Each structure stands twice: as structure tokens, then as C-alpha cells.
Amino acid sequence: MTEYDYWKIFPRMPRKVTIGDITIRDGFQHEEKFISTAAKKFYLEELIFAGCRDIEVTNLGSPYLMPQFKDAEELLIHLRGDRFKKKCAREGINYDDICLTVVTIRESAVDKAIALREKGIGPDRLLMMVSTEEEHHFANSGTTLPNYWQEAERCIKKCNDAGMIMCGTVSTIWGSPIGGATDLKDAVEFSKRFLEIGAHDIEHADHDGSASAAQVYRYFSMVLDAMPDPNLHIAHFHETKRVASASILAALQAGITNFEGTLGGLGGQPANFLDDCPTKGTGDYYYDDPRYVGLVTLEDTLIQIDEMNIEHGYDVDRILWLGKQMEKTIGRRLRSEAIINGRTLKEGHMEYARPGLAKLKEKLGEEPGQNIPKQWAAKAVLPEKYCPK
């Protein structure tokens, strides 16, 4: 007979996961209007109060290229301040459980993070990024892969010496929006390289929604066979074809325990236009229609995992409320379905029931809860031709 216990079918699948949030960095970097510093502080605080403990705060790259992050230092000052720490205490949150990450693609940004650390406002964790397809890597970083690996090695040592940890991101795992198809084995090797040179963990990124569920399961199974500690690995999925929830399920089935998303599915490339002015960003966008760009939504991912009875640590209702606020901040309908439809309620939605069912059942002589005619057998008897062989 078929095995019905999901965890027996997929023995690596976790009962508990960590879901990080990257709204304020990856989510906002693609917006073509400046999101106010006050709004960023609000969402950083509220996400943490709702259960997030791993949060990307900002990008320490050049404000000339990415003016959305010109307030990077102010955000870190806010999160390191006594006022916020007291708020955490009132919410029953252990401040030391919070991990603040900043993106530092190049060495100058790593040096900036170290300087901020010396001032007492630095992040806990930095992030550098390679793509297995070199044209995409060049578009993101401005240099070649061999040169970048040497830079990353220097930066990771600096970072670790300063008391911070480094996440190594591996991108274009399932394909590149520039160079096309890629080989999964290259991404496994790149992950090993990051760990070899001292990275603390690996973000495995589908930056343009290329992944399919079957290939996600295959890749993360390869990853965990090669590097079996699930704490080392974070799954990062973009949503361009409405199939990323299947990728999340496939990653869970393979044994991945760390995920990340953004409120409303915001995100994408750094904007090349901000408010009323063109800006550098990373050049031309990789897509034709901006409605189909961004990450998996934190709200929908959380509902998906919550309804699988997998522990996650979030206040789901608070996150759904935050998603509604985010639509007002951004000024348009975003991509979360959960903020509209909510959870699947076991008690149903009786406000939609048509009146008169109870009276009709009584008139017909039926008992409450009776679903088949009284004269029928209690269990169905299949015709022999339909029975299992």
C-alpha cells in the first residue's frame, strides 16, 4: 500500500524552519521611488516584533549606484540604539537572538561594515555574492569570477577578524537571465568554495525564477549529500512564473530548513530610476513586465509552512496585517494572496452559508450531520472492476 506519512516519504523534511526577511534590502532596492527612512524603521521593527530573527537591513554599496540605501547607517544606528532594545524587551524578545545582515558585494562595502562595527553600530552578518554564470556575475559585481573569489577570500578573513560572519550567496543555480542554462554541479562546487575560504553559511539563490520543483529537489539533495548540515543552507527563490511555492515545497522535501522572502513579494534588481531621476543601478532590467518580478512573498510562504504544521516562530496574523500596510506604503496591489484570503479556517466561513439547510433536513426527516440515505450501507461497496488488484 501507499505510504501516507509525508515525513516517512521525505525523511529529511524538517518539523521546524527559520524564515528570514529581506524586504528592506532586496524588496525595496527595486522600487523606483525612495522608501522613507521612517517607513524602513517601522517595518524593520514590526517584522522583528512579529517573529523575524534573521533580517537584512540594508546594502552598504555605493549610494551613487543605489540611492535607495543612502540611509544605511541611520538604520543601523536605530537598530543598535537603546530605544529599540527597550522595545524588544517590552515585546519579550531577547535582543541577542536578532541577526542583522547587510549586503556588501565589494570590498569597499566590507570595509565600511568593519568601520561601523568599530563604532558599535555594525551588522552581525555580511553577504557577498557570486553567480555561476559569469556574465550575470559581471553585471552584479563589475569584475570576473576569479578576481572576485580572491576578493571574497580577503573580505571573509577581514570580516571574521572583526567579529562578524559572512554569508556566501551562490546565484544562477537553475539558470541565468543573461547566459541561459547552467549546471547544478557548478553551484555545489561554488558553495564548497565559499565554505573553504571561511564563509559561515550559503544562500542558494534563484534570482530570476528559473527553478522548477524537480530541479530544486535534485539540487538541494545534492547540496545536503555534499554538505549535510542544514544550518549551512538558505533557500532564496524569486517568483516570475507563479511556481515558487512548489520550489519551497521541494526544498523542504529535500531537507532545507532556512528560507527567506519579502512582504508582498517585493524585490528584484537595484532600480535604475528613483523618484524623478534615472540612476545607475546594475543597468537594464532583465525582464519586460515589472508585474512578474520579485521574491516569494513572506505572507504566502508563511501560510504554506504554517498549514503544513511546521514550526516557524512567527505571529501569522501580525505578518498578514503588515502585508496590508506594505501595500499602502508602496502604493499598489502587491502579490500576496494570503493578505486577502487569509488562512484556511477549520471552522469555515459560516457567514457565507445560505439560510434554510437545517429546516430542509428536518422537513425531509434527516438527522443533523447525516450525509447519505438511511437505507444505504454505512460504507460504500465498490464494484469489483474498480477494486485494487
Residue 238 forms part of a structural domain: yes
- The domain spanning residue 96 has which CATH number? 3.20.20.70
Q: What is the pTM of this model?
A: 0.93
Of residues 292 and 232, more confidence is placed in: 232
Residue 53 forms part of a structural domain: yes
Residue 7 forms part of a structural domain: no
The percentage of residues in the chain with a pLDDT greater than 70, rounded to a whole number, is 100
Q: In this structure, what C-alpha cell is assigned to residue 221?
A: 539533495
**For the segment 265-283, what is each residue's pLDDT rounded down to a tens digit?**
999 888 999 999 999 888 8
* Spatial separation of the C-alpha atoms in residues 266 and 282, rounded to whole Å: 17
User: Quick one: pLDDT at residue 343?
Assistant: 84
Would you list the DSSP string of 200-249? SEEEEEETTS---HHHHHHHHHHHHHHS--GGGEEEEEB-SSS-HHHHHH
**For the segment 17-66, what is each residue's pLDDT rounded down to a tens digit?**
999 999 999 999 999 999 999 999 999 999 999 999 999 999 999 998 89
Across 92-129, b (16+ Cβ under 10 Å) vs e yields ebeeeebbbbbbbbbeebbebbbebbeeebbbbbbbbb
C-beta separation of 98 from 48 below 8 A: yes
**For the segment 109-151, what is each residue's pLDDT rounded down to a tens digit?**
999 999 999 999 999 999 999 999 999 999 889 999 999 999 9
Residue 62 forms part of a structural domain: yes
- Average pLDDT over all residues of the chain: 95
Residue 380 forms part of a structural domain: no
Residue 386 forms part of a structural domain: no
**For the segment 170-216, what is each residue's pLDDT rounded down to a tens digit?**
999 999 989 999 999 999 999 999 999 999 999 999 988 889 999 99
Number of domains in the chain: 1
Range of the domain at 232: 13-341
Residue 351 forms part of a structural domain: no
The confidence band for 290, taking pLDDT boundaries of 50, 70 and 90, is: confident
Residue 150 forms part of a structural domain: yes
What's at 88, amino acid-wise? C
The confidence band for 322, taking pLDDT boundaries of 50, 70 and 90, is: very high
* Spatial separation of the C-alpha atoms in residues 174 and 213, rounded to whole Å: 11
User: Quick one: pLDDT at residue 287?
Assistant: 78
